[in-house]
Chains A and B, each alone.
Chain A
Amino acid sequence: MAILTYREALNRAMTEEMEKDPSIYLMGEEVGHYQGAYKVSQGMLDKFGEERVIDTPISENGFAGIGVGSAMVGLRPIIEFMTWNFSLVAIDQIINSAAKMNYMSGGQFPMPIVFRGAGGAGGRLGAQHSQAFESWYAHCPGLKVVCPATPKDAYGLLKSSIRDNNPTIFIESEVLYGSKGEVPEQEYTIPLGLGEIKRKGTDITLVTWSRALGFAEEAAAILEKEGISVEIVDLRSLRPLDENLIYESVKKTNRAVVVEEGWPVAGFGAQIAYLIQKNAFAYLDHPVERVTQMDVPMSYAANLERMSLPNATRVADTIREMLQ
């Protein structure tokens, strides 16, 4: 096993896929000569040349549209948004074009495109640069939504996303780029829609994805010392969703908390809470709880940013209350 960063794992996944399939290209702002705003595409321009690692002007709507159009005629674009905050000016192309093309053409135009880039909150970037948008995209049928939390998952899920014939929203966590983890040397993929039990436990189920996995793991470690056994379900992709994995865990633990980086109102955690009460109601000893970002834009001030984001303390407190 090699130890790779999340960023290196993504780079390796893209590089290997592009070596195999000449119809794949990477496009976005600063992906080439600058080597990627977050260096995810480091070295790829040298390897694949300007024809396949393509720098764009700042025009998210335009190059998202270029990606969709080219996918209509058989190319397999990877479109990088420098961060998902800027995808909002391209959301028309993602939702009105990419997500709908196959459906409204009666199955004539599959859409093998990956939109990827950094999401969530970074270190004190303020309101316009600290947002978790997976709930927005998960809302929309026709899209797949993938949110890896570890280098190993990032590699396997990105490869599957690139090979998928559907538009995939691949949200990388900005704060995880430098995080390290074991990545098997030989090639593998992780099917979209397959979650993973990241930690086994018996008293409560934490459902989470992406960066929030870290908060969950930290809380589980704290609670273990208090004799509370926490099971952690990492969904890895929100669409498709590994529903059964959640229910199986809840059947065992009888309690569930969703931990997510996004806002609470109409967030994806609300959907999970609904699904659990609908499909595992008989097993519940407590209403499903959620730990989310606060219902405010992100503040720049260090203390307020800290307070805004979910964290292990809040997760642990919520669990203690539920077990009382």
Chain B
Amino acid sequence: MQALTNRSKAVDRKPMTIWDKMYIPAIAKGMGVTLTHFFKKKATIKYPEEKRPFSPVFRGLHILNRDEEGRERCTACGLCAVACPAEAITMEAAERQPGEEHLYREEKYAAKYEINMLRCIFCGLCEEACPKDAIYLSETFAPANFARQTFIYGKNDLLIPDPKTEPELYQKAVGERGRKA
């Protein structure tokens, strides 16, 4: 039979010699192996102090984005909710009133925008569906909590900090992924 990889080895079926049956040499060899590991570099990352960098495709908590002037991008078109396979997203649309132009980018905006984090599977389809770059998945973990109700994230949980009034928090929330986009 042709081997699929070049790693295959024929199994050694020779009966054990007396030397093998003593096991002591094999044990000594094994002990040598474990001892070399004693001095090897440790793979541990000391978590709270040291954080492991996320992979570029990591999908964490959602963020509702703003544009450069701090206006909400979301127009409550509902494409994200349609795209969501877990049906985690719900929203209510409202019309922008005169004098609110500095708050919302388009004439329509999401008065209520909720993601049920208990249902969300972090697939990222909402991000792909959004025509306005309004929702994207950041690099933050979903935090633990005690009450189920707290896992329904409203707009105040999701909205990114205003880049004009809170530039530092905004940069932190945008993270590496958002900066590229």
A and B together in one complex: no
- A residues within 8 Å of B by Cβ? none
